[in-house]
Amino acid sequence: MSTAPDLRPDVQAPSFSPLARLATSRERELLGAGLAFRRRALELAHTNPRVLEGWAAALDDKGVADDPLLAAMLERLRRHGVSREPLRTLLGACQHEAGGVEMADLGALMSHCRTLANPLGQLCLAPDDDRQRGYLDSLCSSLQLARYWLNIADDLRAGRVYLPRDELVRSGLDPQQPQPGPALKNLLDAQMFRTRRLLRSASPLGRLLGGRNGLTLRALILLVDRLLERKQQQPDPLHAPTPGPGDWLRCLARAGYHGFRR
């Protein structure tokens, strides 16, 4: 990996890149590399999971990092003085996906998000205290959930169902292949309501961090909340709203206004 990977937030919308560029170079570099690591590990989990055993050994200094992406990731962590522990957690979550994805209940879904998304925040920001760490974990988990709900059409076509199985059953939906309709719409709206509440609970982190990183996080929270609200307003549960330049500019302006108010 000769160049730094592109930074793509967890909701995987290219229009988020203007917000990402506002963060400091260290955080952009670490998050971009972390996302590239996760994308590659998830790909290998479904195509060649044995390779990930070698990655795990390399993370524990019991093997050679012969994959260029992994070698570059480890060098980046060393250069910035960042612990490998978040990568170990992230790799374990990717290896777990090799056995298939099924969320038995909300607890299983949240556990999945904690291991697949929260390590990215820990890689980039390494919060100083428990309060910041709690806000950061809430932010990362809610962004992962938002990615699932906003992109549910793509996941269902690929046979991936991230909705809690017990709630699907109670809603009268097939847990393996839920079909679009009022039942799916109501269930998805309930998930997005919970996700928006979790997302908003992380908003104090922006003020605690301050500076460019704090501004970026405040704007990102506003933008993702806006997209979830827009999706809730649509009758089609498979509708996938996308942000435009006007959306992120308005959210950035709101983030700056509220960030500097006293």
pLDDT along the chain (262 residues), means of 10: 37 44 73 86 87 89 82 87 89 79 90 90 82 91 94 90 95 94 96 96 88 84 92 93 80 70 38
**Quick one: pLDDT at residue 3?**
41
pLDDT given at position 21: 59
Answer for the pair 243, 11: CB distance below 8 angstroms, yes or no. Answer: no
Q: Show the tokens assigned to 201.
A: 């609970």
Spatial distance between the Cα atoms of 171 and 181, rounded to a whole number of angstroms:
11
Question: Contact, 164 vs 228, CB < 8 A?
Answer: no
Copy the structure tokens of residue 259.
Answer: 């960030």
Quote the pLDDT of residue 10.
Answer: 36
Indicate the burial class of 246 (C-beta count within 10 angstroms; 0-12, 13-18, 19 or more). Answer: exposed
Residue 5 confidence (pLDDT): 38
List the one residue out of 191, 156, 150, 163 whose CA is nearest residue 177: 156
Q: What pLDDT is recorded for position 153? A: 94
Give 114: exposed, middle or buried? Use CB within 10 Å, 0-12, 13-18, 19+.
middle
Angle at 203 between CA 225 and CA 196, to 5 degrees: 30
What's the token pair of residue 27? 């955080």
Rg (CA), the chain: 18
CA distance 34 to 126: 13
Domains and CATH numbers, the chain: 14-256 (1.10.600.10)
- pTM assigned to the model: 0.84
The DSSP 8-state label assigned to residue 179 in this structure reads P
**Coil/strand/helix, residue 72:** helix
CA 22 from centre of chain? 18
- Res 19: pLDDT: 52
* Side-chain half-sphere exposure of 124, counting CA atoms within 13 A: 26
d(CA 72, CA 69): 5
